[in-house]
Structure 1
Amino acid sequence: MKKRDKNHIKTLRTSLITLIVFTLLCCKNEPKQQLKETLTGTKLQLKYASGFSCKNYGSYKVLQITKSWPNASKTYKYIIISKENAAKTSFLKDEYDGIILTPIEKLVATSTTHIPALELLNVENSLVGFPQTNFISSEKIRHRIDEGFVKDIGKNESINTEILLELNPNLIISFGIEGGNKTIEAIKKTGIPVIYNGDWAENSPLAKAEWIKFFGVLFNKVAKADSIFNTIETNYIEAKNIAAKAETKPTILSGAMHSDIWYLPNGTSTEAQLLKDANVNYLWANTTGSGSLKLNFEAVFNKAQQADIWLNPSNYTSLQNLENGSLHHTKFKAFQNKSIYTVANTTGATGGVLYYELGFTRPDWVLKDIIKICHPELLTNYTPHFLKKLP
């Protein structure tokens, strides 16, 4: 190579290095813009869910969780922003409970109710950790667990922080409980963002299902989440209208006894709402409360001895199990007629109950299951997804 060419290359290299250094110095010295919320943000449209809200300000979003558990008094507030925009923005961190950087490539979820939304939005590959993975029924996620892509991180009450830190997730989706979770509070101090999902605290089936939009916000898939929910809502309303045509309303018993206490849904629960929309006569439809009803055997027997159908006798999986649990169970007409149906026998490969994973997201399927059992003439070609007759 000629000496002139070498000098030319050397000059170009020096100029390039100078340009890079100058650019870096300019970026470094460029003042960050203070994040300010305004009234111009676009509000996420929600029809049923009341536990969360979101405003989109273009370069960032503000997500608020107002009901992370029933009667929660604290509102959690999160900023969702791209890594690029975050580098140019300063935050008053005391105003927010977390800064969530997108795209979210590694996620830890803590409830099986989170799994269906990830699949429906085609972001299930982001899941890298979950407590007690045996509870997961999804075939896609089970395959990823078997391949080692999703790690078991222990139990919700005592998450293995060592495994969690090795996974180094972008975000943990937890669920709020009154009194807090000491493990989750400790994880927050490591700098990993934790966000609460309060789907379970909503008071109607469609409100719980609408939390798919919460995941749509996190993964920048709001339009897709909205489309999926609209389909679920349409199916649910169509099923409800079909049920309204039923000429009879069978009487319904639910729950079962444990340690001399019979637990069953109160009349304001989502379970009771499903029974109402299925056009059946739930015998405790007029009760109220924030949790399960707790009654003695006599109170239940006096009202439901002649009930036509018994739905979801707790976690009992056979008539024999139900009899072994208490001989009192055998005294009901529904037991004697073997008219008992449960979700407990529809499970994944490792025993996880599918209803507890998918039921929140697909209330249309749950409603159709009940209609099929209680009004079989109305859905002649439908096969239930969750409910099966107790063997």
Structure 2
Amino acid sequence: MKIRLLALLFMFCLFACQNTKVKKTVIISSKNSIRYASGLSIQKFNQYSVVTVSNPWPTAKKNYTYILHQKGVVLPDSLQKFTKIQVPIQSIVVTSTTHIPALELLGVEKSLVGFPNTDYVSSQKTRALIDAKKVREIGTNQSLNNEVLLDMQPDVIIGFGVDGEKKTYDQLQQNGLKILYNGDWTEQHPLGRAEWIQLFGVLFGMEEKANLVFKTIEKDYLEAVELAQKAHSKPTIFSGAIYQDQWYLPQGKSWAAQFLENAHGNYLWAASEGTGSLSLSFETVLEKAEKADFWIGPGQFTSFEQIEKANPNYQYFKAVQNRNVYSFSSKKGKTGGVIYYELASSRPDLVLKDLIKILHPELLPEYELYFFEKLK
């Protein structure tokens, strides 16, 4: 009897000790590791991470939470209601060109198995995969080909939305596919968009590499900001162009306007509230920007000939007369995709250096423009 009692006590102690050990090692850190991106939160625990996307599109009314877990992990009951994705993943479908640089920076571009409208992809690495039929065409982002996606069975689909229309994604999820929304494009801080590489780092079990890549970009960006402050002038700038009788240009708190401010430029609409676009008449823009030093980002124009044909009144701007117009639309990939639209959000350091070179060439005498070109 005494021996049996001792045996029971030993088993109880062993069981209790094992449980105590598990409880002590479950949580590594519940603190959000994201610093610049306002719409992304990553909380790391032992063998799983809690990812929350709070602003995948401007009108989003709810947060989307995902549990990225290692194989065989028993998750707490409180997490069972969320979408669960086993990591590291082996195959992925992304739906915006802004997602592709993250894959390439991590060296996992070969895991990409599908993309909508592949002609928009500019990167040479990913274009080579597309040309080799390693990446399948899955329709358009507004009308994904469900049959192809169900046949492919990727480990995860990175969803992209503009207005909250997600019927197709809901159907795919109901059929067992994993959908994870990405809201990088809604970020207004230049480093906020680049920081979304951390999401891909968690998906591929490459957190350390993703963190290293981002820290390098962050360092280069902040050093460029500091360099720009040494400029002795602050040139005046306007942006945008006419579309359907209205001139659309960035609002003062927008992603694009933040770059101009950090490059030590005087963006003439910097004081305007909002993070989207202003819609103004031609006369309103001309009145304020007629004497501006630079026109940066003139819509899709890639030459002065196009500008003159589109609207002869553009000639009244001093920046046009002095040929101080710079565009990112002329640099394209093999199939016509604009490189800036794909890569700029992941490499804000290069965007900022371009603008510093344009506004203050004496600060970067050896630097060559990466995204922008001076119109001819």
TM-score (norm 2): 0.90
Out of 108, 111, 123, the position equivalent to 2:108 is: 123
How far does the alpha carbon of each residue in 1:169-223 deviate from its partner, in whole angstroms, 9 at most, with x for none?
Answer: 1100012333322222222211100001111111210111111111111111111
CA change 1:250–1:89 in 2 (3 A) is closer
Kindly tell me the number of residue pairs found equivalent between the two proteins: 353
How far does the alpha carbon of each residue in 1:7-29 deviate from its partner, in whole angstroms, 9 at most, with x for none?
Answer: xxxxxxxxxxxxxxxxxxxxxxx
Partner of 2:365 in structure 1?
A: 380
Partner of 1:370, secondary structure, is helix
How far does the alpha carbon of each residue in 1:18-48 deviate from its partner, in whole angstroms, 9 at most, with x for none?
Answer: xxxxxxxxxxxxxxxxxxxx87644342221
Out of 299, 308, 327, the position equivalent to 2:293 is: 308
Q: How does 1:48-197 map to 2 (within 5 A)?
A: 48-70=36-58, 72-85=60-73, 95-96=81-82, 98-197=83-182
Q: How does 1:206-355 map to 2 (within 5 A)?
A: 206-355=191-340
Q: 1:294 is matched by which residue type in structure 2? A: S
Partner of 1:12 in structure 2?
A: none
Q: 2:371 is matched by which residue type in structure 1? A: F
Contact 2:34-2:40 at 8 Å conserved across structures: no
Partner of 1:5 in structure 2?
A: none
Structure 2: how far apart are the matches of 1:354 and 1:246? 28
Query: Once the 2 structures are TM-superposed, how far is the Cα of residue 102 of structure 1 from its aligned partner?
Result: 1.9
Structure 2: how far apart are the matches of 1:134 and 1:379? 34
TM-score (norm 1): 0.86
Query: Once the 2 structures are TM-superposed, how far is the Cα of residue 105 of structure 1 from its aligned partner?
Result: 1.1
> Which sections of structure 1, spanning at least 5 residues, go unmatched?
1-37
CA change 1:89–1:373 in 2 (3 A) is closer
How far does the alpha carbon of each residue in 1:96-121 deviate from its partner, in whole angstroms, 9 at most, with x for none?
Answer: 1x211222111000011111110111
Comparing 182-191 and 108-117, the one that deviates more: 182-191
Query: Once the 2 structures are TM-superposed, how far is the Cα of residue 76 of structure 1 from its aligned partner?
Result: 0.5
Structure 2: how far apart are the matches of 1:111 and 1:120? 16
Structure 2: how far apart are the matches of 1:89 and 1:369? 47
Structure 2: how far apart are the matches of 1:102 and 1:40? 17
Partner of 2:157, secondary structure, is strand
Which of the two has higher C-alpha Rg?
Answer: 1
Query: Once the 2 structures are TM-superposed, how far is the Cα of residue 384 of structure 1 from its aligned partner?
Result: 1.0
Q: 1:278 is matched by which residue type in structure 2? A: A
Query: Once the 2 structures are TM-superposed, how far is the Cα of residue 73 of structure 1 from its aligned partner?
Result: 2.5
Q: What do you get for the CA RMSD once the two structures are aligned?
A: 1.9
CA change 1:202–1:308 in 2 (3 A) is same
> Which sections of structure 2, spanning at least 5 residues, go unmatched?
1-25
Q: 1:95 is matched by which residue type in structure 2? A: K
Query: Once the 2 structures are TM-superposed, how far is the Cα of residue 289 of structure 1 from its aligned partner?
Result: 1.6
Structure 2: how far apart are the matches of 1:361 and 1:179? 24
